[in-house]
Structure 1
């Protein structure tokens, strides 16, 4: 896959360009590479789509800020069609209004469409629950989605057998109406969506009985989703064109996937690190030993040094979660606590009483300083 060019480079604007400058630069590029001016030129078509993708990001304040911070590898992507999902219909539908009267009275002139309006289906939003194991490795999920799809009986145009329609006589199939208005500055030409056909350029003479003329029906579809490793709670992924189909043909909406993390019974997530709270007995903390603890991948044994103090944190490198940006892997942090029994029998009391006066069981100044330092860091 070819490496994406910097969006600012595509539009030939600076990184501090205003929205007006970005819009002007996009208009210039799109007119230069418009398919009507470059028939059959696939290179021009690619540049046309590339400019639209750059404009989609840089004209949106939030998407632009995300791009400036992370570049093309932003977590969760940018939604919409950024990432190469643009079709010609997408571009004409979303950005055609900034071109005014170019190319036959509307920017949607590609392929003879004139100013015809392109419908766009609505987006769908689903939630996908993931375990820490799935987040660590990435996972493929198959989900069932109830959505609107194009009616197969009328090919999505709403007319019986797909042919029971006529060209709109009001706009002659262009989808727009042109009016001349007299003003103090002289005559001005304006274009509006055709009121007779709602911008579609045609009128249905007999509705499809299967979809009642809507061009869409509701069905259940199984969609395969590839979740990358390292995603986090609330992160949103986007699949272009997997949303609802549009009425009377057009561009499908997008499928938006929101990530939910299933709580792990023993591990806690802290960004890319994973935390395990280990509770030791007094004897194990004093004498040391080998303790089995859980990780994302299964159980492992760790060595506990003799004299381990509560509050100590052990670190197992690269046993956490990978970065979604591929910047490395987090660690497993083992936070140590020591269990002090609440009730003792007489024999246990006698044993501890016998140790009470032993110098090794009395905290010295060094230990007291460490404990004080630990608590001071907690409250800083």
Structure 2
């Protein structure tokens, strides 16, 4: 039988951890009146009188190179080798009818957008008892709201305050399947990347998971109260940092 292709949408969570989906489609199935042979009940197909049941006819052609024999599908029976004198009233002798069907598809954990799954034998029914085609399911995965996915790894940005970056501490975040802890070391710079091993997307058809990479973004406050300004000024004084006027500093080569 012919293959069938469908497209289904998945949420980020469904793609990451797998899901079972019932796919609704129309496909050709074996006619339940003639049971696929195309003949009215009580009758039976006969061997094609044109090809003798071979399903093909041979022709001989003479040329300057000699005699050339070719074979082509029989036009009378369409290559089946059978004729149906009394066709089935339901399928008109085709042996198959089109009807809505539901196919259960098991989507494994770790699939990605654009991936195609093959369900063997779930396509159109075969002709004259032949094997059925396959069902090909193309996946369309919605992007995650808080993560960027690259392969099985995940990437995200976490905003932290200046004081948190300076003093350090733990931050609890929501991962893809529960609460995770990001440890902030004292004196952390903006742009620091924290790696949470095994907190990414499960690997496809094998054990293990990718990692979650969290980039720390230190947010400098834009609006300060009078008391906050005084505290920062006091901090600058304690650290011996200039408070007013131009600051003289040296550039350094970037590290990539």
TM interval, short-chain normalised: 0.7 to 0.9
Higher relative contact order, structure no. (Cα contacts within 8 Å, ≥ 6 residues apart)? 2
Residue in 1 aligned with 2:197?
Answer: 317
The structure 2 residue matched to 1:180, chosen from 48, 57, 60, is 60
Aligned-residue offset at 1:238: 0.9
Aligned-residue offset at 1:280: 0.5
Residue in 2 aligned with 1:292?
Answer: 172
- RMSD (Å) for aligned C-alpha atoms: 2.8
Aligned-residue offset at 1:242: 0.8
1:175-213 Cα distance to aligned partner (Å, 9 max, x none):
111122222233232211111111111122233222233
Aligned-residue offset at 1:127: 2.4
More strand by proportion, 1 or 2? 2
Structure 2 runs not aligned, ≥5 long: none
1:261-318 Cα distance to aligned partner (Å, 9 max, x none):
2222222211111112111112211221221112122112222112111100001111
Structure 1 runs not aligned, ≥5 long: 1-119
The answer to which of 250-259 and 156-165 deviates more is 156-165
Corresponding residue pairs, total = 252
3-state SS in 2 of match to 1:178: strand
The structure 2 residue matched to 1:230, chosen from 106, 110, 124, is 110
Q: Measure, in 2, the Cα distance between the counterparts of 1:257 and 1:251.
A: 19
Aligned-residue offset at 1:248: 5.0
**1:168 pairs with 2:38:** no
1:80-118 Cα distance to aligned partner (Å, 9 max, x none):
xxxxxxxxxxxxxxxxxxxxxxxxxxxxxxxxxxxxxxx
Residue in 1 aligned with 2:38?
Answer: 158
Residue in 2 aligned with 1:191?
Answer: 71
Structure 1 segment 204-353 matched on structure 2, within 5 A: 204-324=84-204, 326=206, 328-353=208-233
Contact kept, 8 Å, 2:182 with 2:194, in 1: the verdict is no
Q: Measure, in 2, the Cα distance between the counterparts of 1:359 and 1:260.
A: 55
Structure 1 segment 64-83 matched on structure 2, within 5 A: none
Q: Measure, in 1, the Cα distance between the counterparts of 2:86 and 2:225.
A: 91
More helix by proportion, 1 or 2? 1
1:127-170 Cα distance to aligned partner (Å, 9 max, x none):
23334444444333332222221111111233222835332111
1:207-226 Cα distance to aligned partner (Å, 9 max, x none):
32222333222222222222
Q: Measure, in 2, the Cα distance between the counterparts of 1:187 and 1:157.
A: 38
Residue in 2 aligned with 1:141?
Answer: 21
- Structure number with greater Rg is 2
TM-score where L is the length of structure 2? 0.85
TM-score where L is the length of structure 1? 0.59
